[in-house]
Structure 1
Amino acid sequence: MLLILLLLIPAIGGVLAWLSGARHPDWPRWIAIFALAADLLLTLPLIGRAVMPGQSAWITSIDLPWIPQLGISFELNLDGLSLVLILLTIVLGLVSVVISWSEITERVGLFHANLLWATTGVIGVFLALDLFLFFFFWELMLVPMYFLIALWGHEHRFYAAIKFVIFTQGSSLLMLVAILALVFIHQRATGHLTFDYLALLGTKMSSATAFWLMLGFFIAFAVKLPAVPFHTWLPDAHTEAPTAGSVLLAGVLLKTGAYGLLRFVVPLFPAAAHEFAPVAMTLGVAGILYGALLAFGQNDMKRMIAYSSVSHMGFVLLGVFAWNTLALQGVVVQMLAHGVSTGALFILVGALQERIHTRDMRLMGGLWGAMPRLSGFGMIFAIASLGLPGLGNFIGEFLILLGSFRASVPFTVVASLGLVAGAAYALLLVQRAFHGRTTAQPGSAKPFDLTARHIAVMGGLVLAIIGLGLYPQPVFDQVAPGLAALQHEGTPPGNTPMEGQP
């Protein structure tokens, strides 16, 4: 029942927020906060809880009949990996509500309804183990995100929203075809029609069939990650989305792609994924370098951060297909740290645009004197993005490189150049925006600094990124059983379970 409540509370909260928007603009905001806070209170007691007796990784689960004639059930399972990602989703959802308090003034009820429904879809993605139910939540989270971009975005919001839908829906169709093919192949082999992930593991099929089905799943998740060359929707969507939309996109929705690679692609098709690993790692390295290069060339601060996400998530793709303990631990930390640091940078860009009405770094400079608190937080998260030791991004990227070194020395050496490129664009952002000579016109009003509400949010995110950097062991302990189970499922016959090499 607990897992169902995690879905019902934000879903119903979204309906109430929409209905209450006509009465008072603050009501939807408080409803959203109460709904997400209730989910957080339900989730916190699960931290550190032991797995269920007789289960390899699951903390809690529920399996109810839904469409039994088609082998579809309402199956939700929670392990340590799902738990940390759901916590990230809820926390960033709360942050999105707080930082949108003054930014969103039109159709406030509908805005918070879509925010809560997007959160519901993401939580469902992290819980669903019936593949039909997973696909349902995968599609559910896209619709409200489209409206968040199209209705509350910036100048070219309709173009960005339509592009987002075309890329994600087109790739989702490939995944749906792959799901149906896998189910029917399993039915032909066993006589049992089911969409149950646990039952579909180890389905017998030819190597060619497995490769094509794996590719259908991979493309869907690579688009969402996003991996080069499927990344072109991301800069437009980030640039045009409202601040809360950018936070959810960078902090949460991109992680669903990485989660899909971990949970479905490699475990369902271990031999095909093993064969495909060099190609996937090549795409990961290409994303690291290409994203960093494009980030360095941007003048729009929001677009720079968007391209930096392509680079950072390239490390995730590299780590997933290295498929060993160190690399997968790094993938989890990188997902969490990227969600915190990049989400914080988008919040600061939104606050900056609200104050000086531009995102163009050519029109900035010397902001530290006018807005020292905003500039100080900006520097902290910029150096977190470049991977400064002691902050969470360093732990994630270091472990990924350490794990990928065991899988492929050449890929690791080339990927490490991304750390240098990351330092270049991060320091460029700090120098052009916060230091140097001010470009403000004589006599113009001094922009006001961060409010207490923003300072509280940013202070919490600073503590989170420092905590991940200095003491990530609780995260490792939480996800260890789930990662061990995934490695066992995703290792082809004849390989050592903890050290599968591409």
Structure 2
Amino acid sequence: MGLLSLAIWTPIFFGAVLLAFGRDEHANAVRWVALIGSLVSLAVTLPLYANFEIGSAAMQFVELAPWIDQFNVNYHLGVDGISLWLVLLTAFITVIVVIAGWEVITQRVNQYMGAFLILSGLMIGVFASLDAMLFYVFFEATLIPMYLIIGIWGGPNKIYAAFKFFLYTLLGSLLMLVALIYLYTQSGGSFDLATWHKLPLGASAQTLLFFAFFAAFAVKVPMWPVHTWLPDVHVEAPTGGSAVLAAIMLKLGAYGFLRFSLPIAPDASHEWSGLMIGLSLVAVIYVGLVAMVQQDMKKLVAYSSVAHMGFVSLGFFVFNDLGVSGAIVQMIAHGFVSAAMFLSIGVLYDRVHSREIAAYGGVVNTMPKFAAFALLFTMANCGLPATAGFVGEWMVILAAVKYNFWIGALAASALIFGAAYSLWMFKRVYLGAPANDDVKALKDINGREFLVMGLLAVMVLYMGIHPKPFTDVMDASVAELLRHVAISKLN
């Protein structure tokens, strides 16, 4: 079993053990097993970075074994500079979510922790799959644990939100399945992605494939106008569910564009890039304006996620190194920042049981340590220099200016809207005199919460101050992807 198999199956194994043997009367033991499982799962991903050959665009840590022989489906794994950091991010966020739910979850603790560990393994499987059918199996399987997390531990309208999440993402994926079957027939019976990247497809076939993949991946990102499921799901999901959904699950769709849409349908990607850029700018600007009028903190951060992911899709379709690298950096940075924002809201919700901005005011007076963390994460959400939120957005804006000045100018306007809704929320929730008795009675964060906030703060600052380790890993893979797309365009 190679490193990637260990990264996928270690959390799934621990999750299965928790589901089989965990009981609420042994909740404390269940939590420790979950923590050990998540830490071991993180530990087995670290050698991937330590042994990664920087400067190579080739797939590394490749594993290949037959799976379903009669259809030529293989258990084929590998990572490159595009997927490596997403694997590490998934394992890291899983540790954070397990610690964050330590005291908060008191019912069905084994099922809660087990679902997150299994989900972690499945998402790493998506990022590591080099066989299209294996990718599809992992991609769809991620829906099941997240559906249960929302439907069991969510808020009052959890069933509605869980169904909406499931149906939106499943329906989009069905068109992708049709595209996969078509490509299987065109390639002479192969599901190998590298083979598909070399297929000489006609213009009409590429266009149909592009929109089939768009249906699956745009819903997952989510891009405007298929983003409406996300705020409802975030509002109803438990804090850990919101953190994982925003930090990692949205990245599955963005990653799909890089693995399927751009290399398999390069001509169609160029032809429809104007549409993709337009939809991205609508997400960045219009959805940013929608975020400003939200009264629910979770809804505000959910809409801000749609706006931030708009930078990701914008970066992909300006077709230059800076844009694609910036978009991938933005994916990773958004993972840290959005998880931190949702977990911060969770800290307040656990104490006051309200997500309404109007229920707070003057929190800094009673929770000064927590308010300091919240200020850092809010600034990162605005895109303040020296935080993770700045690097990717700045790279994408520069790339957009290089592509077209006015597109870059429109994208840059999002920094103003981001600062407006983020700082306005911070002002109303944290600053001023204590607004009511609930706020006066608040206790500052305990050691467990401080650990969660501290780990995320370290990553937000490290990535903002020293992004070179992140960009070095992806440079060669991004250059190779763009070279492939450009050559196809010339042909």
In structure 2, the partner of 1:482 is 477
How far has the Cα of 1:19 moved from its partner?
Answer: 2.3
Question: Structure 1, residues 127-168: CA drift from partner, whole Å, max 9, x if none?
Answer: 001000000000111110000000001111111100000100
Is the 1:274–1:492 contact (alpha carbons within 8 Å) kept by the matching residues of 2? Answer: no
1:500 aligns with: none
For 1:53-452, what aligned pairs fall within 5 Å after superposition?
56-187=57-188, 193-441=189-437, 446-452=441-447
Contact 1:57–1:485 under 8 Å retained in 2: no
Partner Cα distance (1:84, 1:52) in 2: 13
2:457 alignment counterpart: 462
Distance of aligned partners of 1:246 and 1:494 in 2 relative to their CA distance in 1, 3 Å threshold = closer
Distance in 2, matches of 1:273 and 1:316, equals 15
C-alpha distance in 2 between matches for 1:142 and 1:327: 30
Contact in 2 for aligned 1:52/1:59 (Cα 8 Å): no
Residues in 2 aligned to 1:90 and 1:288: alpha-carbon distance in whole angstroms: 28
Contact 1:270 1:492 in 2 (8 A): no
The TM-score with structure 1 as length reference comes to: 0.94
Unaligned runs of 5+ residues in structure 1 are 188-192, 497-502
For these two proteins, the number of residue pairs brought into alignment is 489
Please tell me whether the aligned partners of residues 16 and 31 of structure 1 are also in contact (alpha carbons under 8 angstroms): no
Displacement of 1:485: 2.4
Deviations 1:55-88 (A, max 9, x none): 7422210110111211211100111222111111
3-state SS, counterpart of residue 322 of structure 1: coil
Q: Which residue identity lines up with residue 362 of structure 2 in the other structure?
A: G
Aligned twin of 2:39: 37
Q: CA RMSD in A?
A: 1.7
- Give percent identity, aligned residues only: 37
CA apart distance, 1:336: 1.2
- Give the direction of change, closer, same or farther, for the CA distance of 1:130–1:116 in structure 2 (3 Å limit): same
CA deviation profile, 1:286-318 (whole Å, cap 9, x unmatched):
000122111100010111000000100000010
1:453: how far off?
0.9
Whole-angstrom CA distance in 1 between matches of 2:34 and 2:321: 38
Aligned partner of residue 369 in structure 2, secondary structure: helix
Query: Which deviations, in whole Å up to 9, do the C-alpha atoms of 1:311-362 show, x marking residues without a partner?
Result: 0000001001112111112112111111111101111101101111211111
Which TM-score applies when normalising by structure 2? 0.97
Q: Which residue of 2 aligns with 1:27?
A: 29
* C-alpha distance in structure 1 between counterparts of 2:280 and 2:75, whole Å: 34
Aligned residues of 2:38 and 2:98 also touching (Cα < 8 A): no
Shift of 1:408: 2.3
Pairwise CA distance, 1:494? 5.3
Is the Cα–Cα contact under 8 Å of residues 291 and 309 in structure 1 kept in the other structure? no
Q: Is the contact between residue 263 and residue 486 of structure 1 (CA under 8 Å) also seen in structure 2? A: no
Q: Contact 2:57–2:80 (CA<8 Å) still a contact in 1?
A: no
Write the deviation string for residues 4-45 of structure 1: whole angstroms up to 9, x where unpaired: 111211111111111232251122222222222222222212
Q: CA deviation at 1:474?
A: 0.7
User: Take 1:59 and 1:327, find their aligned partners in 2: how far apart are those partners?
Assistant: 24
Residue aligned with 2:26, SS: coil
1:469-494 per-position Cα deviation (integer Å, ceiling 9, x unaligned): 11101111111222222222322435
CA distance in 1, matches of 2:30, 2:274: 48
Letter in 2 for 1:460: L
Q: Which amino acid aligns with 1:111?
A: Y
> Deviation at 1:273?
0.4
- Residue identity opposite 1:204 in structure 2: P
* CA distance in structure 1 between the partners assigned to 2:134 and 2:280 by the alignment: 29
Q: 1:131·1:195 contact (CA, 8 Å) conserved in 2?
A: yes
Task: Report the residue type matching 2:455 in the other structure.
Answer: G
Residue by residue over 1:428-451, the C-alpha shift from the partner in whole angstroms, topping out at 9 and shown as x without a partner, is: 011110012332149x86111111
